[in-house]
Amino acid sequence: MKRLEDKVAIITGAARGIGFSIAEMLSEHGATSIIIDLNHEAVDAAVQQIDDMGNRAIGFTADVTNSDEIASIFKEIHKKFGKIDILINNAGITKDGLLMKMKESDWDAVMNVNLKGTFICTQKVCRYMLKSRSGVIINIASVVGIMGNAGQANYAASKGGIIALTKSSAREFASRNIRVNAIAPGFIQTEMTDKLPQEVIDNYSSAIPLSRMGTAKDVANLCIFLASQEAGYITGQTIQVDGGLIM
């Protein structure tokens, strides 16, 4: 029997990058991965890729900041499967710039998707998990939410907020056997980091003790562990996957 056999897992922002890798790996371990993302074609392509490997996935096109849309999708998923076991809050964006010059619209956009989106999905899923007295929620934060970063005040604040939200929801839900943890990736190679100038990439990479950027699979591996029963006594934690970048 596979580690996550018959689990129903929702992953936001999963059409590409870290989210896709998590969805792919969850399905390899027996779960049905439910991909939620903004772009319809990208969602279809991601579902097809998992299907082609002989694993289970379905997709929904939605924005995590739209609470009505998220509520109705989660209701549909629950009606179809009779349960929701795992939620991975992964959707995230950056709109970098120095604080002094940062537009309020860039502050709001990042806080909305990263922090409010995580709150909305958590709130909409918890009614099902609380009723079934079981569930796992994993929030994708960032090392930047722990250490801060010049030029990323909005992003760092949103990720620091996710860490605090993780601890608060872990405390609220623990008595109902729902575990909530956060993963803080370091510098991971995806389209989000591909758009950075080579000089910034080189500077980061040289500061990483394990001397390489991380891969989406490095993050997905921890997700599988946290979602599994082997992590049954772990809640409220933020675990770094950063090659030793901060310690």
Active site residues: 155
Q: Measured between alpha carbons, how far is residue 163 from residues 36, 65, 102, 196 in Å? A: 22, 18, 23, 25
Asked if 92 interacts with ligand NAP (CB under 6 A), we say yes
Q: Is 192 in the site for ligand NAP (CB under 6 A)?
A: yes
Applying the rule CB under 6 A, the residues between 137 and 166 that interact with ligand NAP are 140, 142
Nearer to ligand NAP, 112 or 177 (CB): 112
- Quick one: which segment of 27-35, 60-68, 80-88, 171-179 binds ligand NAP (CB under 6 A)? 60-68
CA distances in angstroms from 133 to 24, 68, 88, 169, 187, listed in the order given: 26, 24, 18, 14, 35
Amino acid at 206: S
Our finding on whether 179 is near ligand NAP (CB under 6 A) is no
Nearer to ligand NAP, 15 or 222 (CB): 15
Sequence-ordered list of residues with C-beta below 8 angstroms from that of 222, at least 6 positions apart, any chain: 183, 239, 241
Query: Closest distance between ligand NAP and the C-beta of residue 112, in Å?
Result: 8
Q: Which residues pair with 178 in a beta bridge?
A: 135
Phi and psi, residue 96, nearest 5°: -75, 155
Residue with tokens 């699979």: 217
Q: From 24-32, 52-60, 85-93, 226-234, give the range in contact with ligand NAP by CB under 6 A.
A: 85-93
With binding defined as CB under 6 A, does residue 185 bind ligand NAP?
yes
Measured CA to CA, the distance from residue 110 to residue 176 in angstroms comes to: 31
Residue from 47, 113, 126, 245 in contact with ligand NAP (CB under 6 A): 113
The answer to whether 17 contacts ligand NAP (rule: CB under 6 A) is yes
CB 92 within 8 A of CB 144: no
- Residue 140 C-beta: closest distance to ligand NAP, Å: 4
